[in-house]
Amino acid sequence: MSITVKIDLGYEFSVKAKAAEVFEVLSDVPTSVSHFPKVEQLTDLGGGVYQWEMQKVGTTQVNIQTVYASKYTSKFDAAKGQGTVKWTPVKGVGNALVSGHWKIGDRAGKATDIELAIEGEIEVPLPGLMKMVVVPVVQGEFEKLVEKYIANLIKRFGGEV
């Protein structure tokens, strides 16, 4: 028996770095993921597909480890200073399906506007009776990790505008 936890997050922020630099970091999956907290292992499965294995969270008796794979595609228009990095879930790998995107846009050469959207479903192997407790905890933990990731990236890009 398992519980399905839905994730739906969206963020917008601006950094001091140029759009090309932001795109270079975010489109290089291992470099981007190096800023994400609690990643135990990132595996390149080839063809733009990466498998994420997060550190286990919880207690010794009850813990959860999220494992999933996503296929990444990216494009950048240097003339417009705009780019996107998108990822779509790869079914049959791990216990989660995660998709999302980065949208990167130059703001008159002075800053870069960034949008992050993440959607996902995580299967947690716990009885349905625990749903009311588990769902908000897993959602809250995922949200904290993403917010720390954004903070790490903002620092990497020289601060927020």
Query: Can you give the residue ranges of every domain in the chain?
Result: 3-134+145-156
Tokens of 47: 């063809």
Q: What angle do CA 117, 70, 62 make, to 5 degrees?
A: 90
CATH number of 3-134+145-156: 3.30.530.20
**Which tens digit of pLDDT belongs to each residue from 129-155?**
989 988 998 899 999 999 999 999 999
pLDDT band for 1, please (50, 70, 90 cuts).
confident
Strand partners, 58: 63
Position 58 pLDDT exceeds 90: no
CA–CA separation, 145 vs 151, rounded Å? 10
CA–CA separation, 72 vs 86, rounded Å? 6
Q: Is 147 in contact with 16 (CB distance < 8 Å)?
A: no
Handedness of CA 94, 5, 136, 14 (dihedral sign): positive
Maximum pairwise Cα distance, the chain: 54
